[in-house]
């Protein structure tokens, strides 16, 4: 049984490949390396001491994708491949819609052609927009504020329609909250190109002296200390959620969405403090204005994933900070 992992060289994909290999699955990875490095493939093999096929290919290239399905027996697809930078998606929306939405359509058409109808899809908590209350449940209203988020919501809708048209499909829509941390080995982790947009990658660059000061985007939100609250989840816990979702789609048909979060929110100041305590590193920071489009609070009610997938996150914020730092030190 082989699992095709699209975007398997990326941050979440690489960690999921490790967990799949550790659990004994055979995997095949396809990634065009637009936002990842070829060394990651070697690192996955080094961590797991397992071999697998890697194709440097673009989902938009139908013939390349078909060749992969033609020459392998694929049982299910875990679909991570996509562009994910919110700001960039506002600047070049067509590229985002084409890459994420068209890429997924080509993937689904190819899967249907080869009678592979099981998929785990990387969705995002961003499709809850500015939620009316927290914790967020899967049946909350959905809305988006930027092209990146819209691609995720469109893909969820496309997959819903696909299932309605053909009940042989089995699809899991995993709505991630804020993945951070890295593998314990320090060999794989999050290494964004250029200046990071997200909190933890920025913190580690300030701690390592590569950037001077972290800007805290606003301290006047209606939260515990005025700074934004998010549900940070260790990337290994998130990856393990994919294995549980995979088990479910192998056994049942249908389409279901699941929040993958810890259910606990932390403010920006709490994250900085946890990082400083766990790593012993100082993080220079200053309060600046709010980032446009940011919301005050966002955290999951993950009980559906617990009940239906048997999944819960177990790694705490200190472990997330320590593992992110261990990886960052090796870059």
Active site positions, annotated: 148
178 binds ligand UD1 (CB under 6 A): yes
Distance of closest approach, residue 58 Cβ to ligand NAD, in angstroms: 4
Q: Measure the CA–CA gap between 238 and 261, rounded to whole angstroms.
A: 8
* Between 176 and 311, CB nearer to ligand UD1: 176
262 binds ligand UD1 (CB under 6 A): no
126 binds ligand UD1 (CB under 6 A): yes
CA dihedral 243, 245, 248, 254 (to 10 degrees): -150
Distance of closest approach, residue 314 Cβ to ligand NAD, in angstroms: 19
Residue from 72, 160, 185, 198 that binds ligand UD1 (CB under 6 A)?
198
89 binds ligand NAD (CB under 6 A): no
Per-residue burial over 102-126, b = 16 or more CB atoms within 10 Å of its CB, e = otherwise? ebbbbbbebbeebebbbbbbbbbbb
- Which of 123-126's residues contact partners 24+ apart within 8 Å by CB, and which partners? 123/152, 123/155, 123/156, 123/173, 123/174, 123/175, 123/176, 123/257, 124/149, 124/152, 124/175, 124/176, 125/175, 125/176, 125/177, 125/178, 125/231, 125/259, 125/261, 125/298, 125/300, 126/86, 126/152
Cα first-last separation, the chain: 35
* Between 102 and 284, CB nearer to ligand NAD: 102
Residue from 48, 197, 219, 312 that binds ligand UD1 (CB under 6 A)?
197
What's the burial of 70, exposed, middle or buried (CB within 10 Å: 0-12/13-18/19+)?
exposed
Q: Which does 122 bind (CB under 5 to 8 A by kind): ligand NAD, ligand UD1, none?
A: ligand NAD
* Between 3 and 85, CB nearer to ligand UD1: 85
205 binds ligand UD1 (CB under 6 A): no
Per-residue burial over 162-171, b = 16 or more CB atoms within 10 Å of its CB, e = otherwise? bbeeeeebbb
* Between 68 and 271, CB nearer to ligand UD1: 271
Q: Which does 294 bind (CB under 5 to 8 A by kind): ligand NAD, ligand UD1, none?
A: ligand UD1
145 binds ligand UD1 (CB under 6 A): no
* Between 70 and 166, CB nearer to ligand NAD: 70
Q: Which does 214 bind (CB under 5 to 8 A by kind): ligand UD1, ligand NAD, none?
A: ligand UD1
Residue ranges in contact with ligand UD1 by CB under 6 A: 86, 124-126, 149, 178, 197-199, 202, 214-217, 228, 230, 268, 291, 293-294, 298
């Amino acid at each position: 049984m082989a699992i095709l992992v699209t975007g398997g060289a990326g941050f979440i994909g690489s960690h999921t490949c490790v967990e799949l290999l550790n659990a004994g699955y055979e995997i095949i990875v396809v990634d065009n390396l637009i936002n990842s490095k070829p060394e990651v493939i070697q690192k996955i093999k080094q961590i797991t001491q397992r071999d697998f096929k890697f194709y440097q290919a673009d989902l938009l290239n139908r013939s390349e994708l078909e060749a992969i399905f033609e020459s392998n027996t694929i049982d299910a697809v875990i679909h991570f491949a996509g562009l994910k930078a919110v700001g960039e998606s506002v600047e070049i929306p067509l590229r985002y819609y084409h890459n994420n939405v068209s890429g997924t359509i080509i993937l689904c058409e190819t899967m249907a052609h080869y009678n592979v109808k099981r998929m785990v899809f990387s969705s995002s908590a961003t499709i809850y927009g500015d939620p009316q209350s927290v914790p967020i449940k899967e049946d909350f209203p959905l809305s988006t504020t930027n092209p990146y988020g819209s691609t995720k919501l469109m893909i969820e809708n496309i997959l819903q329609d696909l299932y309605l048209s053909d009940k042989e499909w089995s699809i899991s829509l995993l709505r991630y909250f804020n993945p951070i941390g890295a593998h314990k080995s320090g060999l794989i982790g999050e290494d964004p190109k250029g200046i990071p947009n997200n909190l933890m990658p920025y913190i580690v660059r300030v701690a390592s002296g590569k950037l001077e000061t972290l800007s805290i985007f606003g301290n006047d939100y209606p939260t515990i200390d005025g700074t934004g609250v998010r549900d940070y989840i260790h990337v290994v816990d998130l990856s393990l959620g994919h294995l549980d979702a995979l088990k479910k789609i192998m056994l049942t048909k249908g389409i279901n969405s699941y929040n993958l979060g810890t259910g606990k929110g932390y403010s920006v100041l709490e994250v900085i403090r946890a990082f400083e305590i766990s790593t012993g590193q100082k993080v220079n920071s200053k309060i600046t204005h709010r980032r446009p489009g940011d919301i005050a609070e966002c955290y999951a009610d993950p009980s559906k994933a617990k009940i239906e997938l048997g999944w819960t996150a177990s790694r705490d914020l200190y472990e997330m900070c320590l593992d992110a730092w261990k990886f960052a030190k090796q870059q």
